[in-house]
Amino acid sequence: MSASAVLKLQKAGFTTEQVEALADFMDTQAASKADLDNAVHKLELGNAALRKDMDLGNAALRKDMDSGLASLRKDLDLGLASLRKDLDLGLASLRKDLDLGLASLRSEIADVRGELRLLEQRITVKLGGMLVAAVGVLIAAMRYLPPAGH
């Protein structure tokens, strides 16, 4: 404590013992301007170290995120390529199945057409036979039946 501070305290009514006790307290317990400057300097150093650590952490985090993103893109590209391959194989298989089904259907249609031709011929023969029989019955009826009117 400075001499001018001791004089001011004594003028204010402090006893010498009180001034000495206060001076002792100020010397041992109270922080000086140098102590405060030192603490501020330490805080600034701590803040600078913390900023540096945060910057390094952010850089490492960015690097990890970029690496993860690149890995994710690679996995997506591989997945898409695999999916395209599977779709192409599926489409090829579907086309093959459709072609086989279409060929089978065409074969069945050709068989049905052949059966319809045979059926058409049989109907024509039966109809022709019925026509011959009907004409024969008419001729016989005209020959053996007396003319109408006698």
- Of 19-28, 66-75, 102-111, least confident by mean pLDDT is 19-28
The pTM of the whole model exceeds 0.75: no
Compare 12 and 124 and report the one with higher pLDDT. 124
Compare 149 and 45 and report the one with higher pLDDT. 45
The Cα 42–Cα 36 span in angstroms is 10
Who contacts 26 (Cβ-Cβ below 8 Å, separation ≥6)? 1
Q: pLDDT band for position 1 (50/70/90)?
A: low
pLDDT of residue 3: 67
User: Is residue 33 scored above 90 in pLDDT?
Assistant: no
The Cα 65–Cα 53 span in angstroms is 18
**Residue % of the chain over a pLDDT of 70:** 96
Compare 100 and 16 and report the one with higher pLDDT. 100
